[in-house]
Chains A and B, each alone.
Chain A
Amino acid sequence: MKYHQAVHDVPVLFEACEKPQPGTMFDATVGGAIPKELVREDLRIPDLPERDVVKHFVNLSQMNFGVDNGLYPLGSCTMKYNPKLCDEVVSWPSIANIHPLQDPSTIQGALRLMYELERMLCEIGGVDAVTLQPAAGAHGEYTGVHIVRAYHESRGETRNEVILPDTAHGTNPASAAMVGYDVLEIPSKEGCVDIEALKAAISKDTAAFMLTNPNTLGLFEKDVREIAGVLHDAGALLYYDGANLNAIMGKTSPGKMDFDIVHFNLHKTFATPHGGGGPGAGPVGVNRRLEEFLPVPRIIKEGDRFALDYDRPKSIGKVRAHFGNFGVLARAYTYIKMQGGNGLTAASENAVLNSNYLRHHLSKDLELPYGQLRKHEFVLSGRPLKAKGLRTLDFAKRLLDYGFHAPTIYFPLIVEEAIMIEPTETESRDTLDTFVEVCRKILAEDPELLKSAPHNTAVRRLDEARAAREMIFSWRAYEKKAAKDQAGSV
């Protein structure tokens, strides 16, 4: 249970020592090819020795915590281990060095990969057709809500409202709003959708209801079929936020639950690494009656050849240039093939087992609002900490000191002082046991240790208000400010 993150003094690259400069002046017009008035005067980018650059970034990497370093129980984000073959594959020239506008006859391997991935996602999601174009989960939602809009418009209806529960992730309302919908949030009842509140909210203006199941509390929405019925009776569609698919593979599917539109987070369920914030991929699946609205091009199979079909008059168009994040798609394809159907089912089983195991142990130490049995994640309340003058934030920061990434905190919004824990299937029992032990130890520690945590990370707590106030978003801005400060002090 000892952890100490590396601490390096790594100056910003722009401060570093430059290489000797070339003796001659650079001709930016390239022998007059570009008119003088169109070339830039200077380019203030440092010239650094490769040796120093590599040292810089390797030292930075040591001040960064990833799944490969240890447990990353960031609820809702499914930070599972990423098999290394997937990363290697995407460096092959047959994936890396192909251009999206190549003649389809010269990218048959890539088209097959995408076609097969679509088919596999159809099976996992219980849907009829999938587009791989969206670049992330939120982008999948955005695509899905455009499909909602296109569907209603095709029926000559204008419905202007999307409903979602108050447990929804922030991207859900934001995506709906970006497609032009008014957003109506309904309060939950005992952590799940309140059907009566939903019925009361539904009107002829309702275009869709967005839900994830299990929901963000980790609870399975048992009434999902009834919810679907209520919406479909009102002519509205049901949207599935696939962020929580890791709980249910092989056990149920969004299609089986009567969802009409589904997005998948390949960077969550299908183990493509999160890359410090991205890239991800957010494919969208739909049932038969919505297929005609999917973005173009569609990849079609003609005999044993693959072709691109742009002739879809009802398509919503394009949500991203070209085919989406192909490198991420190739990783997910590799992962699914590696696991197979049984492996994916086992992944969900173990994800749920690990989550409930932690929930079982930790619910005695902190509060567990709403029911017992959870799926792949659960949400504790840090309310008991208040008695010691502490907050969830303090507990989370102290976890860092023991080499655990913190859980997601303060989400979902309906749990006071929320601590959202998702261990994923790839963590061993030993790791989980150590985590429980550390959580208990922290709860017994001197509150001051928590308040001043973290202590064992590269830096201590940050002055975040200052970042927002000073607005230094680049080295340029830093230099400007430094010059101003100096002028002011003279």
Chain B
Amino acid sequence: MGLSKCSLEMLQEMGLKSVEDLFTDIPKEVRTNGLRLPDGMSELELRRELGSMLAANRTADSHPSFLGAGIYNHFIPAAVRTIMGRSEFITSYTPYQPEISQGMLQALFEYQSYMAELTAMDVVNSSMYDASTALGEAALMSNRINGAKKFLVSRAVSPERRDVARLYAKGAGIELVEVGYDRPTGTVDLEDLRSKLSPEVSGFYFETPNFLGPIEPHWKDIREILGQKTMVVGTNPMALALLRPPGDMGADIVIGEAQVFGAPMSLGGPTVGVLGCKSEHVRKMPGRIIGMTADLDGRTAFCMTLQTREQHIRRSKATSNICSNEALLALGAAAYLAVVGRTGLQEIAAKNVGNMKALSARITKISGFRAPHFSAAHFNEFVVTSDEKASEVDRALLSKGIQGGHVLTKHFPELGNAALYATTEMHTKEDHDRLIEALEGIR
């Protein structure tokens, strides 16, 4: 490619003749000669090509989908997109220079504030990559809190989260031990929890609502059983519009996925990992934290703080390696919560519960199907069991243009023919009708 006139002049000014003179420090034996990639495309050509390539994707708009399992299809108000579209936010980076980055800093403080309010925790950091890595980090944090080398994890968690947590634990030489769930209710099996406790155990992770849908009623018992050990609670922050917050249950650490607040599903990423804790643990926490302070003139202002925990200062002794996080999505979550407000959020959450009740009641009326499988209370997701193989049900639905619930056979064989169905405020009665009709056709 030829150089522009400006570039040539710049080279001349430096006393150089060609761009190659700038690469003489790269030894010949490691030089390559350009890239074997096609030439660039114009915006118009590319838009067309991308459009036709992506047309092969079925979207939740064109085909009703009942998938959840950690990633949910919620409504995103137009104002949220407008706010997240501000290029001053999008094209900035980590606010290393707080004086010129107050916008992002305040928005992240507001995100932390919303999350602290919803979870009733003292401090929530300004984001982790996602809930799965937040769980991994929480397992390490629990170990930092009391030094013990085993970490208990409920079986009723997403296999994706468990796998990621296992890798994080392995890196730190921590052993993950599974705690079963109670078969009829789907909630924590307290006896099993008791039997797994030992001095080597640092803490216990369970969810409410959990991966299989049930809301955990026994938090008091769990807190009591755990004694001084770390209680780590995973939650769907949308459900916290209704539910007693983990902070009230005595949680030491909270994790979750704030994708539900204003982020599209986007094939599962980017999302935003929530991680919060009691203030006594804050120095053990990973990730960036924004704090309130004042400038020289006494004006309220915000900056990153407690950075001595972090990799750029503490290097191999840091609480985590995380540097870039999911700040823009955290800002989106704050914008979402600001736009919907308390009343809006409560209505949306109630609508989710209502849809769950309505859909599960209709499914269970179909012969050969039972829902919800567990007797505990649910938020917007529930297990459906069937006489027919779950994968066959899934295939039959797909052929009718419906994406059914997530088939659980592989990871939860003990449930038999089971699938996890989610329904949110996005589903209309017609969407439910279509699913019911299709399921009736299978029987």
Residues of B within 8 A of A337 (CB): 38, 40-41, 46, 49-50
Contact across chains for A98 and B57 when beta carbons are under 8 A apart: yes
Closest 4 CB pairs of A and B: A64-B103, A275-B328, A340-B40, A277-B327
Contact among B25, B29, B133, B318 with A320 in the assembled complex (CB-CB below 8 Å): B133
Q: Knowing A65-B100, A93-B61, A477-B123 touch, does A466 contact B133 (C-beta < 8 A)?
A: no
- A384 interface residue, CB < 8 Å from B? no
Measured in the bound complex, the distance between the Cα atoms of B279 and A133 in whole Å is 32
Measured in the bound complex, the distance between the Cα atoms of B266 and A89 in whole Å is 12
Chain A to chain B contacts (Cβ below 8 Å), 21 pairs: A59-B103, A63-B102, A99-B267, A138-B322, A170-B311, A178-B140, A178-B320, A180-B170, A276-B327, A276-B331, A277-B324, A278-B270, A321-B161, A336-B37, A337-B38, A400-B100, A467-B291, A467-B302, A467-B303, A474-B112, A477-B279
Measured in the bound complex, the distance between the Cα atoms of B166 and A318 in whole Å is 9
Residues of B within 8 A of A424 (CB): none
- A154 interface residue, CB < 8 Å from B? no
Closest to A373 in B: B25
Contact across chains for A373 and B306 when beta carbons are under 8 A apart: no
Contact across chains for A43 and B345 when beta carbons are under 8 A apart: yes
Residues of A within 8 A of B112 (CB): 473-474
Proximity bits, B116-132, A CB within 8 Å = 1, else 0:
11100011101101111
Inter-chain contact total with CB atoms closer than 8 Å = 646
Residues of B within 8 A of A323 (CB): 267-269
Residues of B within 8 A of A10 (CB): 106
Cβ distance A27 to chain B, nearest Cβ, rounded Å: 8
Residues of A within 8 A of B19 (CB): 349, 352-353
Contact among B73, B113, B394 with A475 in the assembled complex (CB-CB below 8 Å): B113
Contact across chains for B311 and A171 when beta carbons are under 8 A apart: yes
Residues of A within 8 A of B97 (CB): 65, 396-397, 400, 405-406
- B370 interface residue, CB < 8 Å from A? no
Cβ distance B356 to chain A, nearest Cβ, rounded Å: 8
Interface centre among A56, A57, A356, A405 (most CB of B within 10 A): A57
Measured in the bound complex, the distance between the Cα atoms of B109 and A123 in whole Å is 41
Residues of A within 8 A of B398 (CB): 103, 105-106
Residues of B within 8 A of A110 (CB): 54, 57, 267
Contact across chains for A177 and B46 when beta carbons are under 8 A apart: no
Residues of A within 8 A of B3 (CB): 349
Contact across chains for B341 and A46 when beta carbons are under 8 A apart: yes
Contact across chains for A46 and B291 when beta carbons are under 8 A apart: no
Q: Knowing A102-B403, A174-B318, A177-B316 touch, does A321 contact B90 (C-beta < 8 A)?
A: no
Measured in the bound complex, the distance between the Cα atoms of B19 and A373 in whole Å is 12
Residues of B within 8 A of A408 (CB): 96
Measured in the bound complex, the distance between the Cα atoms of B19 and A352 in whole Å is 9
Measured in the bound complex, the distance between the Cα atoms of B65 and A103 in whole Å is 11
Contact across chains for B87 and A54 when beta carbons are under 8 A apart: no
Size class of the contact patch on chain A: 35 or more
Q: Knowing A38-B244, A53-B339, A109-B54 touch, does A222 contact B25 (C-beta < 8 A)?
A: yes
Contact across chains for A101 and B67 when beta carbons are under 8 A apart: yes
Cβ distance A103 to chain B, nearest Cβ, rounded Å: 6
Contact across chains for A318 and B163 when beta carbons are under 8 A apart: yes
Interface residues of B in 14-53 (CB under 8 A from A): 14, 19, 22-27, 29-41, 43, 46-47, 49-51, 53
Residues of B within 8 A of A65 (CB): 88, 92, 97, 100-101
- B69 interface residue, CB < 8 Å from A? yes
Proximity bits, A2-40, B CB within 8 Å = 1, else 0:
000100001011100001011000111110011101111
Cβ distance B62 to chain A, nearest Cβ, rounded Å: 8
Contact across chains for A320 and B130 when beta carbons are under 8 A apart: yes
Measured in the bound complex, the distance between the Cα atoms of B83 and A458 in whole Å is 20
Cβ distance B56 to chain A, nearest Cβ, rounded Å: 4
Closest to B81 in A: A91
Residues of A within 8 A of B86 (CB): 57-58, 61
Measured in the bound complex, the distance between the Cα atoms of B9 and A59 in whole Å is 41
Closest to B321 in A: A174
Q: Knowing A65-B101, A326-B269 touch, does A39 contact B243 (C-beta < 8 A)?
A: yes
- A142 interface residue, CB < 8 Å from B? yes
Cβ distance B339 to chain A, nearest Cβ, rounded Å: 5
Q: Knowing A94-B55, A222-B25 touch, does A64 contact B101 (C-beta < 8 A)?
A: yes
Flag the segment in A195-203, A249-257, A283-291, A440-448 that touches B.
A249-257
Contact across chains for A98 and B60 when beta carbons are under 8 A apart: yes
Measured in the bound complex, the distance between the Cα atoms of B96 and A231 in whole Å is 36
Cβ distance A289 to chain B, nearest Cβ, rounded Å: 20
Measured in the bound complex, the distance between the Cα atoms of B270 and A200 in whole Å is 43
Residues of B within 8 A of A40 (CB): 240, 242-245, 248
Residues of B within 8 A of A397 (CB): 97, 99
- A95 interface residue, CB < 8 Å from B? yes
Flag the segment in B146-154, B292-300, B435-443 that touches A.
B292-300
Interface residues of B in 215-261 (CB under 8 A from A): 215, 217, 240-245, 248
Residues of B within 8 A of A346 (CB): 1
Residues of B within 8 A of A273 (CB): 90-91, 328
- B414 interface residue, CB < 8 Å from A? no
Proximity bits, A58-95, B CB within 8 Å = 1, else 0:
11111111111100101001010110010101111111
Contact among A92, A98, A220, A460 with B25 in the assembled complex (CB-CB below 8 Å): A220
Contact among A27, A105, A320 with B129 in the assembled complex (CB-CB below 8 Å): A320
Residues of A within 8 A of B40 (CB): 337-340, 342-343
Contact across chains for A279 and B92 when beta carbons are under 8 A apart: no
Contact across chains for B354 and A30 when beta carbons are under 8 A apart: yes
Residues of A within 8 A of B321 (CB): 138-139, 141-142, 171, 174-175, 177-178
Contact among A82, A326, A459, A468 with B299 in the assembled complex (CB-CB below 8 Å): A459
